[in-house]
């Protein structure tokens, strides 16, 4: 592989990987030995470096802290039986990060910085990619403003970083979700499609209220009338109704999920009927009541495929029959087979490190 980015590497004196128990991973609690950093000086990206993972120093007047000028990505690396490391569809994350950055008045990253920074980092920390079934190395690229200035204006300077951590399942069991009709995640013309910090901060309180009632997550509905199903905050959401896979079209209120795209591609490849269209809450509830809803599941990088066992709407819990989750179980297996290098990667999704 050709290296064109000049990356300075400072290695840890002693790796912490021996402290890891890959059979008992606590989601995102332990971070790998190194991290990648690049700085933007208002003109160009420079000072590419891989250094020991650790705290960073920023000004108390940092605009990312005050105004949330910050974007991030999430992707995963898997280890195949031969011990090779495969990253799942990283170019998609690169593209989406730049879309988020544009919306948040942040500089574009070159493919070279994103991909080479990540490849060098993962290569150095490849022992941190777990090889236990159901586990992977979560990769978190992120960019944030770094000016020392609390006036409200776009920062001139930024930092781009990548950190990684071994992970198992985000949701360890099927989830209970509540359809939200009061709070709003995203509105037309807003930032819903961008992977930006504030979207997640704003979702915490409504999600907390739902969690107090015993649910794991919300199903967000459109901000104007709360009639259309949107997404679930940590994941996109899909349904199988009458053997048809249905999910909302991405637009400016829904994150363009890469797992979502992969599931749609596999379903179409298998000849399944797929409808990417607005789905009304009323239609979903009618489908449940008529016993037409076969499956409901979240799809996301961290969540992978999260089976849904309860949908709550207007104070009523609708339990779903998990015995009917044929498509979501099959697609999870198919995705895993590709990611762990057990099946032919016919779409060219794996990026080998």
Residue 28, by phi and psi: left (phi above 0), alpha (psi -120 to 50) or beta?
Answer: left
Q: Contacts with ligand COI in 153-182 (CB under 6 A)?
A: none
- Interface size with ligand COI, residues (CB under 6 A): 7
Q: Establish if 74 lies at the interface with ligand COI (CB under 6 A).
A: yes
State in angstroms the smallest separation of the CB of 117 from ligand COI.
18
State in angstroms the smallest separation of the CB of 279 from ligand COI.
21
Rg of the chain taking only CA atoms, in angstroms: 21
**Among the candidate windows 106-114, 208-216, 289-297, 298-306, which touches ligand COI by CB under 6 A?**
298-306
For the chain, give the number of residues.
353
Q: Strand, helix or coil at 203?
A: helix
Taking the least distance from each CB to ligand COI, the nearer of 287 and 303 is 303
State in angstroms the smallest separation of the CB of 257 from ligand COI.
8
Q: Classify strands 217-219 and 175-179 as parallel, antiparallel or unpaired.
A: parallel
Strands (E), the chain: 8-9, 34-40, 45-52, 70-72, 75-79, 85-88, 136-145, 158-167, 175-179, 217-219, 236-241, 244-247, 273-276, 293-300, 304-313, 316-319, 350-352
Q: How many CA atoms lie within 13 A of 83 on its CB side?
A: 2
State in angstroms the smallest separation of the CB of 182 from ligand COI.
22
Q: Which residue's CB comes closest to ligand COI?
A: 74
State in angstroms the smallest separation of the CB of 94 from ligand COI.
14
| Other C-beta atoms lying within 10 Å of the C-beta of residue 153 | 12
| Other C-beta atoms lying within 10 Å of the C-beta of residue 223 | 17
- Rounded Cα distance between 240 and 294, Å, is 5
* ∠ Cα 284 290 291 (to 5°): 90
State in angstroms the smallest separation of the CB of 227 from ligand COI.
25
State in angstroms the smallest separation of the CB of 231 from ligand COI.
11
**Among the candidate windows 123-131, 179-187, 261-269, 297-305, which touches ligand COI by CB under 6 A?**
297-305
| Among positions 90, 206, 300, 341, the unique one binding ligand COI when judged by CB under 6 A | 300
Taking the least distance from each CB to ligand COI, the nearer of 134 and 319 is 134
Per-residue binding string, ligand COI, 301-330, x by CB under 6 A, is xxx---------------------------
Q: Establish if 232 lies at the interface with ligand COI (CB under 6 A).
A: no
Applying CB under 6 A, the residues found at the interface with ligand COI are 74, 200, 234, 300-303
């Amino acid at each position: 592989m050709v290296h064109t980015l000049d990356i300075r590497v400072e290695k840890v004196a002693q790796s912490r990987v021996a402290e890891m128990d890959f059979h008992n991973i606590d989601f995102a609690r332990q971070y790998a030995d190194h991290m990648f950093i690049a700085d933007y000086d208002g003109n160009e990206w420079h000072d590419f470096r891989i250094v020991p993972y650790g705290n960073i120093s920023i000004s108390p007047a940092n605009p990312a802290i005050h105004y949330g000028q910050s974007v991030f990505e999430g992707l995963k690396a898997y280890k195949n039986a031969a011990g090779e490391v495969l990253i799942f569809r990283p170019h998609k994350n690169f593209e989406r990060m730049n879309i988020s950055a544009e919306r948040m008045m942040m500089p574009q990253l070159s493919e070279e910085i994103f991909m080479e920074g990540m490849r060098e980092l993962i290569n150095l920390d490849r022992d941190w990619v777990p090889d236990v079934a159901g586990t992977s190395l979560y990769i978190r690229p992120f960019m944030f403003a770094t000016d020392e200035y609390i006036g409200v204006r776009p920062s001139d300077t930024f930092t781009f970083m990548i950190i990684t951590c071994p992970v198992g399942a985000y949701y360890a069991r099927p989830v209970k979700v509540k359809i939200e009709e009061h709070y709003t995640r995203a509105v037309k013309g807003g930032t819903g499609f961008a992977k930006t910090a504030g979207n997640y901060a704003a979702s915490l309180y409504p999600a907390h209220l739902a969690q107090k009632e015993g649910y794991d997550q919300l199903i967000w509905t459109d901000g104007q009338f709360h009639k259309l199903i949107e997404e679930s905050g940590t994941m996109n959401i899909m349904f199988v109704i009458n053997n048809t896979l249905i999910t909302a079209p991405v637009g400016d209120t829904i994150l363009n999920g890469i797992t979502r795209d992969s599931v749609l591609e596999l379903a179409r490849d298998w000849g399944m009927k797929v409808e990417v269209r607005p789905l009304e809450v009323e239609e979903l509830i009618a489908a449940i009541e008529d016993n037409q809803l076969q499956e409901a599941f979240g799809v996301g990088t961290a969540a992978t495929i999260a089976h849904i066992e309860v949908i709550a709407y207007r104070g009523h819990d609708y339990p779903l029959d998990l015995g009917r989750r044929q498509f979501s179980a099959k697609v999870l297996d198919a995705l895993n087979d590709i990611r762990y290098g057990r099946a032919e990667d016919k779409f060219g999704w794996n990026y080998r490190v």
